[in-house]
Amino acid sequence: MAYAAVTSLMRTIHQSMELTGCDLQPFYEKLKSLRAILEKSCNIMGDHEGLTILEVEIIEVAYTTEDMVDSESRNVFLARNVGKRSRAMWGIFFVLEQALECIDSTVKQWMATSDSMKDLKPQTSSLVSLPEHDVEQPENIMVGRENEFEMMLDQLARGGRELEVVSIVGMGGIGKTTLAAKLYSDPYIMSRFDIRAKATVSQEYCVRNVLLGLLSLTSDEPDYQLADQLQKHLKGRRYLVVIDDIWTTEAWDDIKLCFPDCDNGSRILLTTRNVEVAEYASSGKPPHHMRLMNFDESWNLLHKKIFEKEGSYSPEFENIGKQIALKCGGLPLAITLIAGLLSKISKTLDEWQNVAENVRSVVSTDLEAKCMRVLALSYHHLPSHLKPCFLYFAIFAEDERIYVNKLVELWAVEGFLNEEEGKSIEEVAETCINELVDRSLISIHNVSFDGETQRCGMHDVTRELCLREARNMNFVNVIRGKSDQNSCAQSMQCSFKSRSRISIHNEEELVWCRNSEAHSIITLCIFKCVTLELSFKLVRVLDLGLTTCPIFPSGVLSLIHLRYLSLRFNPRLQQYRGSKEAVPSSIIDIPLSISSLCYLQTFKLYHPFPNCYPFILPSEILTMPQLRKLCMGWNYLRSHEPTENRLVLKSLQCLNELNPRYCTGSFLRLFPNLKKLEVFGVKEDFRNHKDLYDFRYLYQLEKLAFSTYYSSSACFLKNTAPLGSTPQDPLRFQMETLHLETHSRATAPPTDVPTFLLPPPDCFPQNLKSLTFSGDFFLAWKDLSIVGKLPKLEVLQLSHNAFKGEEWEVVEEGFPHLKFLFLDSIYIRYWRASSDHFPYLERLFLSDCFYLDSIPRDFADITTLALIDIFRCQQSVGNSAKQIQQDIQDNYGSSIEVHTRYLYRNGAFLVV
């Protein structure tokens, strides 16, 4: 991970320049050139002790330098006189000069070592000894793939006369080669095509070997003559060519001209792990994505390979076999390998049960195990910038569905992502996630109603590879406590004394982290209420968001290298609930000195749930110059009024849970580059806001949400701190009992007065793309005409009594640019609208709209409509959606998806 370490050091230098104003660009550029050398030499596969030693040296120098640059830069930032500032600046220069000299020398050794290894590498790669094919081809079993086979057979046999390229995409071991081989050998295919040929390209392909494989000969002729010979061989004949295991677009470019288009229905069938390659080569049609097997298919495959082959087994063996099939996670390769093992071991229940309990370790026990070799090809073929992204998944728990937003947050502060001109670091992270998905190394589990990826995950067998590589590279250390039989004191000591990332799964491990030098510490369990001794002074990422602390952990303030901090703790206002006594000056939840964490980029505060006490935050929380994301929980700020010398936070991209009291133009002007904003508070916070909500200066804002806090009672601020107040001035709170109505199908819609009034259109940011209202605002439906005037609005979400009234009649121009509309727990009966009001609507989601009678019939004329999703609504709503679907089919010849679940009829839900 030398490449990632150098990238991280470059990020630290860039942050130092922003913080101090020092010109460190020459150091940055030198590191950039050294990183380019490492990138070219990083694709040597296998274990090479010489390179590993040099890589460790580079990593150690880079991490040590980062820590020293952080310390000196902070001294510059906090210096109170010119002398101290000057000495600290010279300290930065000295540290970087020494580090670059050391890294430069080590990289030269790296180049010499890698060059000597390249000379030893064979110049051609074998076409017949690839592990994936060793495993997949025997018996060509297609259990559970019958539908996929028929679909692909139809695609190859039908269609136009022009040459078509058909692609199959999927992760290693999922059965791409087996499917392609079955198609190749099918009698119908054999009779349809005049000539068939196949070749494997492989990861380190050789064009000559591919040509020779397609020609089925050996020859000393030069490549261009072989290519010409292949063209002539195929010319005028209807051919099927299978190109198996192709990895890059360059490989396709090297061979595609060999295949003439004879206008006779010839076909080329590609298999690949990379969506980009499949889409690049395919003839306009989307590639076929092979899915993992479901349980029935997995069990049928294992049954066919073991139970049918070996004869009868008792029901006890079949029960264990079903456990094994389930734990293979639908990967045919893993099932095949386990079947091979079961056929060799003694047929005793104890032996089989042992296999069932250790499926993943059985599959990956030996470094040379076929399953691991197949999957390792995908990892070793990754570009240098994607390898740390892949290894980072070792942090998360087995079978965890990982929130993409959190993953992006963590990657953005970890330092290993390349900065790209014109892109935010979050956009770079999202691109990397998509690249890993395209390479079939991770999969998408959930997509939001507006099409954004919400959660992703990794197959268990792929995760075993990820864990092994992350541990070998000392990139992530997963500490599993005493219950982990593989852990030992030596490995723990190594983990805590190294600058790797530590993933903690058990509460006892927090104690073991004392005096750790870890780069990142991330907790993955909900721990009991604990007091933390934070003695890991070099940590940059500290995620304690699942660990409830009784008070703010003051030890955090000494962690000067922090880039990411996530905390959960109880505010200390309980005793003042219902009291007329002012909160004393000593009760401040977040200390003023929080601003000393000058590198902090992401700061997230959580309340334990449920909780009705707000955080009291010092306004100094808004003076951290590197801050990019701030999630404040329900809060009030002390002395929040901006002054002339208030720091403008140019880096702040996301601000969650801002109290509505502070939504003034003068306050929001402090965040000129804000892209996401959530306004959050109890009803009284919205009602007590006297000034007009003014968002007009947030020129970059794309997402805006208004949300109310739900609680049976809440302790809210009676008076905000006046201008000129000090942290010692008392704050007075008042209790409000919130009578929450339970809205069921039998209750009438609420008629409360509006909680707040919408500002006019010119007070909204004009670049706004997404707007959400969630909670008991009880706005009038006519007020949505203000929202409709927003020129770029594409996403609108209304939920939980945000608007009141039985009828929503869309007026004026409607929503001319809206693409996604989500209504959740909105109690309307009648919806009056036409297709002209939503001319570009693509997706409509309705959830828990119990009173709604139907969707406007005129929506059948919205030509962009692609999906209607209905959950727990009247059956008549589902019927109207089906009618719209039919009308679109009849009138336009196109189709849309309609999903209906739990429709309500005659007092009961129907599962549809």
pLDDT tens track for 392-414: 999 988 778 899 999 999 999 99
Q: Residue 84 carries which side chain, given as an amino acid letter?
A: K
Helix (H) or strand (E) holding 631: strand 629-631
Helix (H) or strand (E) holding 295: helix 295-302
CATH of domain 159-289: 3.40.50.300
Four-point Cα dihedral 7, 393, 560, 530, nearest 10: -170
pLDDT of residue 542: 92
Max mean pLDDT among 363-367, 534-538, 604-608, 783-787 falls in: 783-787
pLDDT of residue 413: 94
Is the predicted pLDDT of residue 514 greater than 70, yes or no?
A: no
Is the predicted pLDDT of residue 127 greater than 80, yes or no?
A: no
Structure tokens at 363: 């599959």
Which of the residue ranges 211-225, 633-647, 868-882 would you say has the lowest mean pLDDT?
A: 633-647
Cis peptide upstream of residue 722 (ω within 30 degrees of 0): no
706: β partners: 679, 773
| Three-class DSSP category at 232 | helix
Structure tokens at 326: 């389930």
More confident residue, 729 or 681: 681
CA separation for the pair 805, 819 (Å, rounded): 24
DSSP 455-505: EEE--HHHHHHHHHHHHHTTSEEEE--TT-TT--HHHHHHHHTSSSEEEE-
Is the predicted pLDDT of residue 489 greater than 70, yes or no?
A: no
pLDDT of residue 483: 42
Query: At residue 373, what are phi and psi to the nearest 5 degrees?
Result: -65, -40
Is the predicted pLDDT of residue 267 greater than 50, yes or no?
A: yes
Q: Residue 38 carries which side chain, given as an amino acid letter?
A: L
CB 374 within 8 A of CB 172: yes
pLDDT of residue 388: 95
- Arithmetic mean of pLDDT, 241-258: 89
Structure tokens at 215: 């020609």
CATH of domain 382-473: 1.10.10.10
Nearest alpha-carbon partner for 286 in 294, 296, 274, 275: 275
pLDDT of residue 907: 67
Structure tokens at 724: 């000129």
pLDDT of residue 136: 43
Give the DSSP letter of residue 844.
E
- Arithmetic mean of pLDDT, 737-761: 58
CB 602 within 8 A of CB 409: yes
Average pLDDT value over all residues in the chain = 81
Where in the chain do CATH 1.10.10.10 domains reside?
382-473
Euclidean distance between the first and the last CA atom of the chain, given in angstroms as a whole number? 51
- Arithmetic mean of pLDDT, 348-376: 72
CB 713 within 8 A of CB 612: yes
Residues 6+ apart with CB under 8 A from 707: 678, 679, 680, 772, 774, 775
Nearest alpha-carbon partner for 613 in 584, 635, 588: 635
CB 678 within 8 A of CB 656: yes
Give the DSSP letter of residue 361.
H
CA separation for the pair 224, 241 (Å, rounded): 19
Q: What angle in degrees, to the nearest 10, is found between the helix axes of 176-185 and 146-157?
A: 50
pLDDT of residue 372: 74
Q: How many CB atoms lie within 10 A of CB 369?
A: 17
pLDDT band at 857 (very low <50, low <70, confident <90, very high): very high
Nearest alpha-carbon partner for 572 in 625, 614, 544: 614
Residues 6+ apart with CB under 8 A from 3: 35, 38, 39, 42, 384, 385, 387, 388
pLDDT in tens, 462-486: 888 898 888 888 888 877 554 443 4
- Arithmetic mean of pLDDT, 690-704: 87
pLDDT of residue 474: 84
Helix (H) or strand (E) holding 132: helix 131-136
Structure tokens at 359: 């499926």
Which of the residue ranges 278-287, 829-838, 903-912 would you say has the lowest mean pLDDT?
A: 903-912
pTM of the model: 0.80
pLDDT of residue 427: 92
Residues 6+ apart with CB under 8 A from 667: 640, 641, 642
pLDDT of residue 370: 65
Is the predicted pLDDT of residue 812 greater than 90, yes or no?
A: no
pLDDT in tens, 306-332: 877 666 677 888 888 888 888 888 888
Which of the residue ranges 377-381, 507-511, 842-846, 902-906 would you say has the lowest mean pLDDT?
A: 507-511
DSSP 21-75: ----HHHHHHHHHHHHHHHHHTT--S--HHHHHHHHHHHHHHHHHHHHHHHHHHH
pLDDT band at 280 (very low <50, low <70, confident <90, very high): very high
Distances (CA, A) of 905 to 876, 879, 902: 8, 12, 9
| Three-class DSSP category at 438 | helix
CB 404 within 8 A of CB 382: no
Max mean pLDDT among 114-128, 574-588, 691-705 falls in: 691-705
pLDDT band at 826 (very low <50, low <70, confident <90, very high): very high
Helix (H) or strand (E) holding 77: helix 49-78
- Arithmetic mean of pLDDT, 549-558: 83
Is the predicted pLDDT of residue 217 greater than 80, yes or no?
A: no
Which of the residue ranges 78-87, 353-362, 785-794 would you say has the lowest mean pLDDT?
A: 353-362
More confident residue, 689 or 277: 277
CA separation for the pair 793, 85 (Å, rounded): 48
Q: Residue 878 carries which side chain, given as an amino acid letter?
A: G
With 0-12 / 13-18 / 19 or more C-beta atoms within 10 angstroms meaning exposed / middle / buried, residue 841 is buried
- Arithmetic mean of pLDDT, 683-705: 85
More confident residue, 59 or 314: 59
With a pLDDT cut of 70, the percent of the chain lying above it is: 80
pLDDT band at 745 (very low <50, low <70, confident <90, very high): very low
pLDDT of residue 856: 96
With vertex at residue 821, the alpha carbon angle to CA 819 and CA 824, rounded to the nearest 5 degrees, is 165
CA separation for the pair 547, 606 (Å, rounded): 10
Where in the chain do CATH 3.40.50.300 domains reside?
159-289
Is the predicted pLDDT of residue 880 greater than 60, yes or no?
A: yes
| Three-class DSSP category at 598 | coil
pLDDT band at 546 (very low <50, low <70, confident <90, very high): confident
CATH 2.60.40.10 corresponds to the domain 1-115: no
pLDDT band at 232 (very low <50, low <70, confident <90, very high): confident
Nearest alpha-carbon partner for 132 in 178, 185, 87, 93: 178
- Arithmetic mean of pLDDT, 685-702: 83
Which of the residue ranges 240-244, 386-390, 414-418, 761-765 would you say has the lowest mean pLDDT?
A: 761-765
Which of the residue ranges 20-34, 656-670, 732-746 would you say has the lowest mean pLDDT?
A: 732-746
pLDDT of residue 305: 80
More confident residue, 351 or 526: 351
Distances (CA, A) of 273 to 44, 62, 164, 446, 492: 20, 34, 20, 21, 36
More confident residue, 687 or 873: 873
CA separation for the pair 410, 503 (Å, rounded): 13
Residues 6+ apart with CB under 8 A from 292: 174, 329, 330, 331, 459
- Arithmetic mean of pLDDT, 156-176: 87
CB 279 within 8 A of CB 251: no
pLDDT band at 494 (very low <50, low <70, confident <90, very high): very low
- Arithmetic mean of pLDDT, 900-907: 80
pLDDT of residue 877: 95
Is the predicted pLDDT of residue 215 greater than 80, yes or no?
A: yes
Query: At residue 813, what are phi and psi to the nearest 5 degrees?
Result: -80, -10
Nearest alpha-carbon partner for 468 in 331, 329, 365, 385: 365
CA separation for the pair 439, 213 (Å, rounded): 26
Is the predicted pLDDT of residue 740 greater than 50, yes or no?
A: no
CB 818 within 8 A of CB 791: no
pLDDT band at 362 (very low <50, low <70, confident <90, very high): low
Is the predicted pLDDT of residue 390 greater than 90, yes or no?
A: yes
pLDDT in tens, 95-123: 999 999 999 898 888 788 877 765 544 33
